[in-house]
Structure 1
Amino acid sequence: MVTVDDRPDMEAAHLRVAELVQGLHARPDADSETVIAELAEHAAVEIPGAQYAGITVTRDAKHIETPAATHHWPLLLDKIQQRHLEGPCLTAAWDEKTVHVADLETDERFPNYRRDALTETPIRSIMAFQLFIAGQTIGALNVYSEQPDVFGPESRTLGLIFAAHSSVAFNSARRDEQFRRALTSRDIIGQAKGMIMERYGVDAVQAFELLRKLSQDSNVPLAKVAADLVATAQSPSPS
């Protein structure tokens, strides 16, 4: 339970999380991989009781990836979840907002995961928070400790706030990446159209139709066809 004496510390932690996310948003070079890696690092520091942190993502509850981890143990634990298709992080991602394993020695919810995690890692307590990632991908922000019973109400409160901020930051970074890729594709297609118009004396609509037909006939995305044409045109001619 958060006491009156704890509130200033919690408020300061909330502010640090908010400032972290604002800082990531303000950085023009912060791609989604950088954002998620930095969020994991800060989660391991800020969430009370955490020694390690990791991000678990999955598209269909069967294929698990770990785009960020502060140590080898989160990576190995996700491999164990992949092996058995069960575990607290997978459950948090798909079924529950938060999953708390106070003591892996006694928790019986994930028997196969529990057996291998106890055998292969020193991790004894886990708290996993669902991430709301846009699209078909589901995720969880997870914190771990080698000691049992270290995650309390403060950990849960700050973890939920961290997960909410992480979801916003990660989704924003991915949208920025998609927007930049779209702009790049548009520019490349424009260059290819200009080359076709100049070479064959056609207008913009006819040039685009030619690109589209090349894409359909070769079963290659239109942006890739355009990029290949531009690259070929820019390659030095053999002497």
Structure 2
Amino acid sequence: MEWREYAAQMAELARDLLARESVQDTLDAIAAAAVNTIDGCDAAGILAVRKGRAVTLSSCGDMVEESDRLQGELGEGPCFDLALQGNDERTYRIADMTEAQPGWPRYAEAARTLGIGSMAGVLLYTDKEDFGALNLYSARPNTFTPEMATAGWLLASHAAVALSSARTIDQLQHAMETRHAIGEAMGILRERHHLSEEDAFNVLRRLSQHHNVKLHDVARQVRATRPDAD
């Protein structure tokens, strides 16, 4: 690998990821970048474990979703373990999947039927949170050398920062949309029932508590009662 060229690719990728418009778009771009920039990588995906269940957040290429499904179903596998608890290095590398894997015997057998020759993975994480594991797949054994695993770690480091930024932007956008919806709903109630701003908000709050529905969902329901609502 030409590291100067890879560094230039990482700089361009960092700009591209930060320009993505949503968390999902960022996740998809990360998986695609792994396939496009890491030598020998035939497929890549991002796996998270939520309440003990494997969830494929993004995938690029064949075998990813089936591999994730099998690991979740069997409760074992390198991606599952990494996403669930990590390890001291927060990475793994399996040079030859055709060899016995004592840690994941059932998954290893299933992986061979999927045509997986070698694997590597690294956690996507920042100081504040883990996003899941970025997993790399190759149909050929001995693809992911230590140098290739390092390339994956560099990619994941860039990706985690962009993902954290994208999640923050999504949260801010959602907060703004929620505030706008609540404001519109309050305006409808004030006009319809001649309420003060405080009383209109209290009506929304009581409906939310009584029906155990989030405030912004109550606001959307009120907005839907307008004669001109779509």
Q: Secondary structure at the match of 1:66?
A: strand
Instruction: Identify which of 24, 37, 41 aligns with 2:17.
Output: 24
The answer to whether the Cα contact below 8 Å between 1:14 and 1:161 also exists between their aligned partners in 2 is no
The alignment covers a number of residue pairs equal to 225
Instruction: Identify which of 109, 113, 121 aligns with 2:107.
Output: 113
Instruction: Identify which of 31, 53, 64 aligns with 2:44.
Output: 53
TM-score normalised over the length of structure 2: 0.90
Instruction: Identify which of 26, 29, 37 aligns with 1:35.
Output: 26
Instruction: Identify which of 209, 213, 219 aligns with 2:212.
Output: 219
Q: Secondary structure at the match of 1:232?
A: coil
CA deviation string 1:5-37 (max 9, x = no partner): x5xx2132122123212123234xx21111111
- State the shift of 1:135 in Å: 7.7
Q: Does 1:71 align with 2:61?
A: yes
Residue of structure 2 equivalent to 1:159:
152
Q: Secondary structure at the match of 1:82?
A: helix
Amino acid at match of 1:79: R
The answer to whether the Cα contact below 8 Å between 2:72 and 2:80 also exists between their aligned partners in 1 is no
Amino acid at match of 1:38: A
Amino acid at match of 1:35: T
Q: Separation in 2 of the partners of 1:166 and 1:147?
A: 26
Q: Does 1:231 align with 2:198?
A: no
The answer to whether the Cα contact below 8 Å between 2:131 and 2:160 also exists between their aligned partners in 1 is no
**1:134–1:75 CA distance, 2 compared to 1 (3 A):** farther
Amino acid at match of 1:114: A
The farther-off stretch of 129-138 and 71-80 is: 129-138
**1:157–1:170 CA distance, 2 compared to 1 (3 A):** same
Amino acid at match of 1:57: A
Q: Secondary structure at the match of 1:233?
A: coil
The answer to whether the Cα contact below 8 Å between 2:79 and 2:135 also exists between their aligned partners in 1 is yes
Q: Separation in 2 of the partners of 1:150 and 1:19?
A: 25
Residue of structure 2 equivalent to 1:197:
190
Q: Secondary structure at the match of 1:48?
A: coil
Unaligned runs of 5+ in 2: none
CA deviation string 1:82-127 (max 9, x = no partner): 1111111122222221111111121332111111112x31111000
Q: Secondary structure at the match of 1:128?
A: strand
- State the shift of 1:197 in Å: 1.9
The farther-off stretch of 97-106 and 67-76 is: 67-76
Amino acid at match of 2:109: R
TM-score normalised over the length of structure 1: 0.87
Residue of structure 2 equivalent to 1:92:
82
Q: Secondary structure at the match of 1:72?
A: coil
Residue of structure 2 equivalent to 1:3:
none
Residue of structure 1 equivalent to 2:94:
101
Structure 1 moving runs of 4+ over 4 Å: 133-138
Q: Secondary structure at the match of 2:9?
A: helix
Amino acid at match of 1:89: C
Q: Between the two proteins, what is the percent identity of the paired residues? A: 32
- State the shift of 1:198 in Å: 2.2
